[in-house]
A and B are shown apart, each in its own frame.
Chain A
Amino acid sequence: MGAISGPPCDTDLILDIFEQLLHGVTLGAMYAMVAAGLALMLGVARLINFAHGEFFMLGAYAFWFGYSELGLPYPLAALLAPAVMVLFGIAYQRTVIRAILPRSWHVQLIATLATSIVMTNLAIIVFGTQPKEVPTALSSRVLDVGGFRMVWQRLLVLAASLLIFWGLNRFVARTRTGRAMRAMSQNREACAVVGVDVQRTAMITFALSAALAAAAAALVSPLFNIFPDMGTTLTLKAFAAVVAGGFGYVNGAIAASFLIGLTEALAGSYVSYAYKDAIAFLIMIAVLLWRPQGLFGRRIGI
C-alpha cells in the first residue's frame, strides 16, 4: 500500500479495527475448536481433561514434523496432525482415561494435570525449547483489498473452522454415534439400558476431541510459533470458554471462544498487549458473576 505519511485518517483506523476484528475471529476460531473438544468430553463422558492443550501442542509438532521434516505438502501435513493425534488420543484413552473416568473429578483433574506436565516436559526434552516456525505458502501471501490486508492463512482458518463446526453439529444431530453422544450427555445410566455402547461412544468422542485440537493446530501453526509450553495457556483459556459457555454445552463453548478471541484481539491491540492472556479469565469471571450457569443458562446435554 502506498504509504501516506501524514496525520492518520479515519479510513486507516477503520481498516485497522477491521483487521483486528478479523484477527480476533480467527483467534476465536482456534480457541473454539479446542474448547469444543473439551466441552464434548465434559458433556458426553463427564471428563475433566487438563491435558487437552497438549493435544494441540503435540498436533502442532506433528504438523511441523510432517511439513518441515518430511516435506509433505500442506494439505497432507495438515491431515497428518489429526490422524496422529487420533491414534495418540486412543492410546491415551485406553491407558489414563479409562483409569480415571470412574473416579471423582478431583482425581481426574490432578491426574490430567500431571499428564499435562509430563507431556510438556517430554516435549521440551525431545523438541527443545527453541520455538519452531512453520511458514507455509498461504501464511506468507497476503490478500490485499483496497488497503485492507489479511494473510490468506487466516481466512483458511476461518473457513475451515466454520466448515468443521457445521460438520460437527451435523454429526451430533444426524448420525447414530452423534445421537448416542447426545443421549450419554443427558442421561448416562439410561444409555446402557437402552443399548448404547457407552465405551465405544466415549472413545469416539475422545478421538474426535483430540482431532479437533490437532486440526486447530495444523491450521494455526503457520501463523504462530510452536513451543512446548503452548498447550498450558490454551487449556486454561479453553476451560474458561467451556465454563462461560455452560459446562458441557458445545455450541456455548464455541460462542464463548469467539467472544474471548475478539476481546483478546481488540484489547490486545488497543488496551494492553501484555495483559491479553488474562482477558479470557476476566471474561469468564464476568460471565459467572452475571450468570453462574454460563452464558446460555442451565442446559442439559451437549
Chain B
Amino acid sequence: MRRAGWLALGVFVVTVPWLLSAAVPRQQRYILHVLIFTAIVAALALSYDLVVGHVGSLSLAHPAFFGIGAYTAAILATRAGWPFLAGVLGAVIAAALVAALVGVPLFRLAEHAFAVGTLGLALVTSVVANNWVEVTRGPLCVTGIPKPRLGPLAITTLPAFYWLALAALVAVALFYRGLTTFRLGRAFHAVRDNEPLAGAAGVDPLKYRLLAFTLAAAIAGGIGALYAHYLSVMCPEEMTVSLTVNLLVIVFLGGVGSLRGVLLGAVVFTALPEVLRLAPTWRLVIYGGLLLLVVIRSPGGLESLLRRTAGAR
C-alpha cells in the first residue's frame, strides 16, 4: 500500500470513535470494546509470531508471559500503588526475566521436548496463579486495578482507551517490523530455515532463539499489563491453553511470519465471533475445526491466499 493509502487508513482508524458516535451512537461502546480487545489480541499475536513464525520455535508458553505481565502490573498497581507506566515496565521486565531464565534450559531440548516444556511452563504458571492466593488471590482475582494515567492524562473513557490500545498496537507493529527485517530478521530466518548452516555462518542459533523468545515474552507481558488495566480485574482464567489455540489460529490462519497476515487474522478471528455472538464453546469448536482444516490444507493461511489472488490479477 502506498503512502497515501496508509495515511488514509490511519486517519480513518483514529477517527473511529467519532464516526461511531455519529453513525451508531447506541452501539458505540460495544463496538469500541470489541476494537480495543482486537487491538490487544493483535499485538499479542504479533509477539507470538516472532517466536513461531520468524525463529521457527513452536512455543506454547505465551499465555504464561501474558499472565505474568498482567498479574505483575495488577499487583504493583493495587498493592504497591505504582503508577501505570512503571507497572507496565515492571510487567515487561518480569515476563522477560522468566523467559530468559526458563529459555536457556528449554532451548537445549530437542524440538518436541521444547514444545512440551513450554506447555508445562504454561500449566505451571496457571497453577501458580490459581493457588498462590497470598499474592494473586487465586480464583478471587485481583480487583480494583485503576485506570491508566499517562502523567496528567487519565485514560478513563472508552475512546481514550481505544487510542491507547491503538498506540500500543502501532508500537508493537513497528517493533515487530524492526526485528524482522534487515540484519536481525535475516539471522532469525537463517536459524529458522537451516539451523546447521546458520551455525556454519557464525550465527549462534541458541542466542537468536532466546532473543526472539525473550523479546516476544516482554511484549506479551506489556500487553498483559495493558489488558489488566483495561478490565480492572485479572483472573487466572485469562491465561489458559485456549489463549494459545486462539493465537495459533490467528497466526496460522492469518499467515505465519507476515505482519499483514497476522493483523488480518487478528481482526477476522477476534472481531468476527464477537459480531456473530458465538457462545465460547461453539466458537472454540469452530476455531478448532478451522485450524485443523487450514493447517492441513493451506499452511500459508489467509495471507498466502491473498497473495495468490493478487498475483492472479
Contact = CB atoms under 8 A, between A and B. Distances in A.
Task: Answer yes or no: do A and B interact.
Answer: yes
B245 interface: yes
A113 B127 contact: no
B288 A115 contact: yes
Contact of B116 (A106, A107, A239, A278): A239
A115 B287 CA distance: 10
Contact of B288 (A107, A114, A233, A289): A114
Given A117-B284, A232-B241, A285-B120, A111 B112 contact: no
A243 B296 contact: no
Contact of A118 (B115, B130, B292): B292
Contacts, number: 108
B306 interface: no
A191 interface: no
Contacts of B124: 278, 281-282
B295 to A, nearest CB: 5
A281 B123 contact: yes
Q: From DSSP, what is the main secondary structure of chain A's interface residues? A: helix
A9 interface: no
Interface stretch (A71-79, A121-129, A154-162, A202-210): A121-129
Interface residues of A, number: 42
A164 interface: no
In which size bucket is the chain B interface?
35 or more
A181 to B, nearest CB: 20
Contacts of A106: 58
Interface in A109-148: 109-111, 113-118, 120-122, 124-125
A168 interface: no
Given A110-B248, A232-B241, A236-B123, A288 B288 contact: no
Given A278-B123, A292-B108, A121 B282 contact: yes
Contact of B281 (A111, A124, A292): A124
B181 interface: no
B111 interface: yes
B242 to A, nearest CB: 7
Which of B113, B130, B244 has the most chain A CB atoms closer than 10 A to its own CB? B113
Contact of A121 (B108, B109, B110, B281): B281
Contacts of B123: 233, 236, 277-278, 281
A281 B245 CA distance: 21
A14 interface: no
Given A105-B111, A288-B109, A288-B117, A111 B292 contact: yes
17 contacts: A107-B296, A109-B115, A111-B296, A117-B242, A117-B287, A236-B120, A239-B116, A243-B112, A243-B113, A247-B112, A274-B130, A275-B128, A285-B105, A285-B117, A288-B109, A292-B110, A292-B113
Interface of A: 48, 96, 99-100, 103, 105-107, 109-111, 113-118, 120-122, 124-125, 232-233, 236, 239-240, 243, 247, 272, 274-275, 277-278, 280-282, 284-285, 288-289, 292
Which 8 residue pairs are nearest across A and B when measured between Cβ atoms?
A281-B120, A118-B288, A274-B131, A114-B291, A117-B288, A114-B288, A114-B292, A121-B281
